[in-house]
A and B are shown apart, each in its own frame.
Chain A
Amino acid sequence: MAKNVFPPTMQTWIGRRLMDGAKGRSQVNRHVMEVYALPMRVYFLGTSDRWIGEPDEVVQGFFADRLARPGFFEDWQNSGLPLRRWLMNAFSFYLLELRRARRRDGRAGPMGDDPPTFSGDPDAAVDRAFIVSVVRRALQRARILCEEQGLEDHFTVFVRHHYQGRSYKHIGEEFGVDHARAAVMARTAGRKFRAALREILEQDGTSRAEIDQEIAVLLEAVGA
């Protein structure tokens, strides 16, 4: 087997972007904010700290505070944790800091310094939200890819069937094609969707060779 000459930090999309300076860092931050706004919101709403503030404001405050910190992503890469678990840990500490700040401001009664408690399974809740968020982003990217290649109808057929649950027979009638042609159109757009989804997972730290396994593990974890 050939020796892997790249250090671990270079093996991920994030690691490679971080080598590109401010521009790369900005791309990484954008990925995290786009994909993790929903999972972090879900996590926040499940904690005992949800009284602290409006969910979207708290999550955006977390991103603004932590993503700007030097070494934040380097520490993640050294942790060996999936990015969503690393962000959950960081968010938990951020909530603790907010709670202390509220106490200093006199906006909260005496409370302990324990990490926030979560009602239910936080890992499962975040995994479920992560899947929803990734799929939303993949659909958006696939639509853009299809539009760029003049495949708007193909994408609409794909959405009609896989998103809205309509049969190819009905879709074919809407587009004036037979059901077999409708299926072919959906498959063409489906390939764009699959590529977009896999790209997002790769950007999130999953190696290309492990994407199928990651999908299977996540679906099993959420009981799908």
Chain B
Amino acid sequence: MFDLQSFLNELWIARWAVLFGLGTTVAISALAIVFGSIVGTLVGLALTYGGRFLRLAVRAYTDFVRGTPVLVLVLASYYVMSTVGINLTPFQAGVLALAVFCSSHVGEIVRGALQAIPKGQMEAAKAIGLTFRQTFLWVLLPQALRQILPTWVNTAAEMVKASTLLSVIGVSELLLRTQEIISRNFLSLEFYFFAGALYFVINFGIELFGKYVERKTAVAGQG
């Protein structure tokens, strides 16, 4: 039976635990998205413009990562890294795993967006005398970003959801905190719902942000 009074009461007691969990989830997701997007952009560049050897190596990386369950990546970055002498805290291992996962997805998105830009754009930039770096920064990237944005928002939301998997290596993110709270007060229905609502709020925020940027960068005369 749902009892609002006792739920609010328990929520008040658990307020710091919930907030810390929420903070950890947001921090991990944000770090993973930022690092993953930076590395992913490089991955996409390498896939599109790299030499044959580089392309092959990066292609192997993305295919391998994309073909691996995120949970496996999480477990690997925590347990396997320590066997080669790299000891990461659960938090660090979690960010690493999610960033790697994110980079492979962003890499594919960036590759697709760059390849969708007509060849003439690159040629026109070259003809003016722009170097590759200048061409990428001022001609290709601004066009690619508009393509990337909607899919990137999806990936960012996926990262937030995937961060729940870090509970298995003991990162005190929102889900693990929620489970701990429930094990104390047994209000499983209420608190799982509440946690679900918080995840929804984060992802809805990301989506609104994406829509906002999309509107800001819309170009007149383009579909």
Q: Say whether A and B bind each other.
A: no
Contact residues of B with A, CB < 8 Å?
A: none
The chain A residues found within 8 Å of chain B, CB to CB, are none
